[in-house]
Amino acid sequence: MNKIQKLAVLSVLPVTAALTAFPAQAAERPTCPVPTKAEAERSSDTKIDKPPRGAAALKGVRVDHIPKGFTYGQVVVNKHDGITEYGYQWGDDRSDVDRKHRSLWVRVVCWPKASEPAQLKNAPFDLGTFSGATETVKIGGRQVLTQEGDGALGHGRYAGWVEREGVVVTVMASRPLVPELAKIIKGIKL
């Protein structure tokens, strides 16, 4: 083997090693972000974060666009019917009935049966069901199921999509935040 052939073989080795590592890395990545035991305990104890957490409020989820003006936040974990709901709620100190109240709820649901947005109408969520007049639209580069917020969720816009099979993301933005909903949705990364 001459010098050029040796250099060619040696230069290909790192690329080959990197390519063979991809399947292993993909297998190690969890299919759905799940809360830690500590987060589940914080949720059941209804602990409030003052000031609220930022972009990495949920382990395994990044929310790159969080509007300004929130004064508190809270982790919400719920496990039932074979699914895990893991979310974070940001809010301000205004009354929930005040139309200027600012709130944002981002939730990841590990639901093995989820594969397309239309299924969200029948999802076994405890809170935040798609039970009203829904429509499928493109928001923030994603195909989402959306509806007007109802009394239980507050005023604003509710949206949800299947990030990948078995992983659902929902977002509830209060009325003052609806103009930023596309930025919020686009900035969510799992």
pLDDT digits (tens, 9 = 90+) for 85-119: 999 999 999 988 888 899 999 999 999 999 999 99
Residue found under tokens 């190690």: 28
As a whole number of angstroms, the distance between CA 11 and CA 40 comes to: 48
Question: How far apart, in Å, are the Cα atoms of 70 and each of 35, 51, 97, 146?
Answer: 23, 8, 16, 24
Per-residue model confidence as pLDDT tens for the chain (190 residues): 554 444 344 444 343 333 334 344 334 445 899 999 999 999 999 999 999 999 999 999 999 999 999 999 999 999 998 899 999 999 999 988 888 899 999 999 999 999 999 999 999 998 888 988 999 999 999 999 999 987 667 789 999 999 999 999 999 999 999 999 999 999 999 9
Q: Are 179 and 172 in contact (CB under 8 A)?
A: no
